[in-house]
Structure 1
Amino acid sequence: MLPSPPPPTPEQRASYRAALAQGVDRFLCAPRTTCPWCDAGRLRHRLHTTDLLQRKPGRFTLDQCLGCGHIFQNPRLNEDGLDFYYRDFYDGYWEERAGETWASLRRAYEERAAFAARHVRPKTWLDVGTGHGHFCAAAADRFPGTVFDGLDRGNGVELAARRGWIDRAHRGLFADLAPTLADAYDMVSMQHYLEHTIDPQRELRAAARVVRPGGHLFIEVPDPECRFGRALGRWWMPWFQPQHLHLMPLANLRRHLEGLGFTVVAQQRCNFNGPVNLLYSTYLRLHNAAPAPDAPWFPTAPSRLRRNARKAVFLGALPLLVAMKAADHLAGLLPSGARVTDAYRLLARRELAGPE
């Protein structure tokens, strides 16, 4: 169980109360009838769920294209919805918790850097969706001669620059900033970024402008073909609703990159943070079965009885959590063809000039 932040202020709680008084249906666009990836019109519902992590109000649906296999949130959050559900997650109320989470992923960052290092030695590297810059700080040890820059829409990218983890901070939307960064970088990375974007194909076109000819694009995203996604249903952490708007099968992403003038030089099915699918799924179930923790989007603070009951749920479940961690370890010993890894990564070289 993650450490609890301090109690919300009355002002924070009042702000959420005002936002929720208008209902949450207003945060959704009209449903699509075609696939946003290939535009085919044959869709099926894949998943119905709620916000299982923050437990903010709302219900969300993932649909799957029967033509290309693309999975996407439908109806999708609009800009107001994105603002509401991202609010206090990576900054604000949960900022310290988010920072601790990203800091705990150093081994995962080092594995990604090692994957890239087998093929490239870039002089300049732009990490898109860099957050607080933890990846760049970790990768600098393996790429001592590389200048790392970061790009994000939040204030974390500026914090990363002040810490010295990146050389330069670009704050804003990647697709909007791409024209000013054209052909500027030997390497662009998008690590668990594309799935959060409204239009991932637009983001890839932006990357084709920013990567120099002969340079490389590194991408890691959740793998919707992971068998745990079906076996665990809505409790599979990488569904991560409502933040994950698109989940792209590996073949789809490869074909699209080739159409943009890239050649995929390496790919790997992998785990986001080691084999943890069963452990994280069990945590989500406990987190939602136990009384809710305190947060500004809940109307009142939990009573002492409810706080103690929540602690008791997790203490009582410790043997189960240990067993799930052991089961994940055993699953991690299976070959890649078993499709039990929850992510994939690829490295692509830009061969042609990017699209205008």
Structure 2
Amino acid sequence: MTGEKRIDIRKRGGVSMANNDAPADSVAALRPSYSADLAEGTERFFEARRTDCPWCGSDSLRVRLRTTDLLQHKPGRFVLDECRSCGHVFQNPRLNPAGLEFYYRDCYDGLGEKNINAMFEGNQAGYRSRAELVRGFVEPGTWLDVGMGHGHFCKEAAESLPETHFDGLDLSDGVEAARERGWIRTGYQGSFVDLADDLGGRYDVVSMYHYLEHTTEPRHELAAAKKALRQGGFLAIELPDPECRWARALGRWWMPWLQPQHLNLMPIGNLRAELVASGFTVVAEQRAEPHAAIDLLAASVMAVNALTIGGEDLAWRDTPPGRFRRILRKATFALCVPLFILAGVVDRISAAAGRKRGWSNAYRVVARRTGS
């Protein structure tokens, strides 16, 4: 399968469980458009199912996961296949451009913007850790964050690297908002693959934090990064780790599966080999440090949310829920607070040792551009 799909999607690592803060009139205003989108069903949102691995071409595939949209609870069913030959995990059948637009809508902007912003603002330690890893190899003058979202990483990283000029690239309007706040110097709104030639050799560092898993053609994104980097520049990547043991233990409730948004999940060995083949030298790998100790807590919240979602006013449902269902949902969440606290405690206790034994839910790679 060849060719780059240029689709208006938003990359982010994380999950906002519901749109509890969305005003009822805002939800009602969007209901007719969602009803029109769903009138013909969800089958039209998918490409044809493929029979080979998009990473290595092998036809030895197996189903890794069947699930639904546990983020926004929009209708539809999704399948992740795993390649028996290389371990690549990918959505199959994959969403087409219309499907990606439908399922991303009101997640990172619109109805979901407030919740997602709150989540981004709570990851300062992770942002600093990313910056410090790169700082161990270079004091960059210029840094481009691809899939920058609302610019929270650039804002936080500037505290560690005050002499670095941070630029950002994304498809969303968050680019302009971040520029106006002074969190980035220059913002580029559009497809990285399309813009890479114009950015040729301009950057000391290009970062892709929880971005590649959202793209249709990850190899094209890596090629674009090589174009944007100067000779000797560094590419920093962070991804969910499909080899994480939590993924097996929690199944569809493992938050980093994040269906239907995550299209490709690469084992670290696959990414390493591709970087080397593309003219990079891998200089650092982290399998434990990027771990976010939220696996059990996120699974618990998603499970309770799914059980009570009938009490949530969702624009993609024909009618709002009745008063009893709304009260029952709130009461259930209140009663489950001790469960959430316990899950969070277990996450933190198990993180220190567990993430060093294959339980880390993310990994990082830093590679230096060495090829011509």
TM-score normalised by length of structure 2: 0.92
* Partner-residue secondary structure (3-state), 2:159: coil
Kindly indicate whether the alpha-carbon contact (under 8 Å) linking 2:53 and 2:61 is maintained by their aligned counterparts in 1: yes
2:166 partner letter? F
Q: Which of 318, 335, 339 lines up with 2:337 in the alignment?
A: 318
Cα deviation, residue 336, structure 1: 4.4
- Counterpart of 1:252 in structure 2 is 270
Which stretch shifts more, 312-321 or 5-14? 5-14
1:141-168 Cα distance to aligned partner (Å, 9 max, x none): 0010000000000111111111110001
1:13-72 Cα distance to aligned partner (Å, 9 max, x none): 111011011111100000111100111111001000000010000000000001100000
The reply to whether residue 283 of structure 1 matches residue 301 of structure 2 is yes
* Partner-residue secondary structure (3-state), 2:33: helix
Kindly indicate whether the alpha-carbon contact (under 8 Å) linking 1:291 and 1:309 is maintained by their aligned counterparts in 2: no
1:175-190 equivalences under 5 Å are 175-190=193-208
1:85-118 Cα distance to aligned partner (Å, 9 max, x none): 0011111121122211211212211121122222
1:152-188 Cα distance to aligned partner (Å, 9 max, x none): 0011111111111000110001111111111110000
- Counterpart of 2:23 in structure 1 is 6
Cα deviation, residue 274, structure 1: 2.6
Kindly indicate whether the alpha-carbon contact (under 8 Å) linking 1:222 and 1:272 is maintained by their aligned counterparts in 2: no
Report the Cα distance in structure 2 between the residues aligned to 1:309 and 1:32, rounded to whole angstroms: 42
2:237 partner letter? I
Kindly indicate whether the alpha-carbon contact (under 8 Å) linking 1:187 and 1:211 is maintained by their aligned counterparts in 2: yes
Kindly indicate whether the alpha-carbon contact (under 8 Å) linking 1:291 and 1:307 is maintained by their aligned counterparts in 2: no
Report the Cα distance in structure 2 between the residues aligned to 1:79 and 1:142, rounded to whole angstroms: 38
Measured on the aligned residues, the alpha-carbon RMSD in Å equals 1.3
Report the Cα distance in structure 2 between the residues aligned to 1:72 and 1:316, rounded to whole angstroms: 37
* Partner-residue secondary structure (3-state), 1:290: helix
| Alpha carbons of structure 1 residues 335 and 24: separation in structure 2 relative to 1, 3 Å | closer
Report the Cα distance in structure 2 between the residues aligned to 1:166 and 1:181, rounded to whole angstroms: 16
Kindly indicate whether the alpha-carbon contact (under 8 Å) linking 1:228 and 1:340 is maintained by their aligned counterparts in 2: yes
Report the Cα distance in structure 2 between the residues aligned to 1:343 and 1:200, rounded to whole angstroms: 17
Kindly indicate whether the alpha-carbon contact (under 8 Å) linking 1:157 and 1:169 is maintained by their aligned counterparts in 2: yes
Identity percentage of aligned residues: 50
1:70-149 equivalences under 5 Å are 70-149=88-167
1:318 partner letter? V
Kindly indicate whether the alpha-carbon contact (under 8 Å) linking 2:238 and 2:362 is maintained by their aligned counterparts in 1: yes
1:199-218 equivalences under 5 Å are 199-218=217-236
Report the Cα distance in structure 2 between the residues aligned to 1:22 and 1:114, rounded to whole angstroms: 49
1:287-321 Cα distance to aligned partner (Å, 9 max, x none): 10113311211221122211111111111111111
2:209 partner letter? Q
Equivalent pairs counted in the alignment come to 353
Report the Cα distance in structure 2 between the residues aligned to 1:12 and 1:71, rounded to whole angstroms: 34
- Counterpart of 2:60 in structure 1 is 42
Report the Cα distance in structure 2 between the residues aligned to 1:175 and 1:266, rounded to whole angstroms: 25
* Partner-residue secondary structure (3-state), 1:94: helix
Report the Cα distance in structure 1 between the residues aligned to 2:271 and 2:314, rounded to whole angstroms: 37
1:320 partner letter? L
Report the Cα distance in structure 1 between the residues aligned to 2:167 and 2:348, rounded to whole angstroms: 35
Kindly indicate whether the alpha-carbon contact (under 8 Å) linking 2:290 and 2:364 is maintained by their aligned counterparts in 1: no
Report the Cα distance in structure 1 between the residues aligned to 2:182 and 2:166, rounded to whole angstroms: 10
2:204 partner letter? D
| Alpha carbons of structure 1 residues 161 and 70: separation in structure 2 relative to 1, 3 Å | same
1:317-356 equivalences under 5 Å are 317-334=336-353, 336-353=355-372
Report the Cα distance in structure 2 between the residues aligned to 1:160 and 1:103, rounded to whole angstroms: 13
Kindly indicate whether the alpha-carbon contact (under 8 Å) linking 1:49 and 1:60 is maintained by their aligned counterparts in 2: yes
* Partner-residue secondary structure (3-state), 1:219: strand
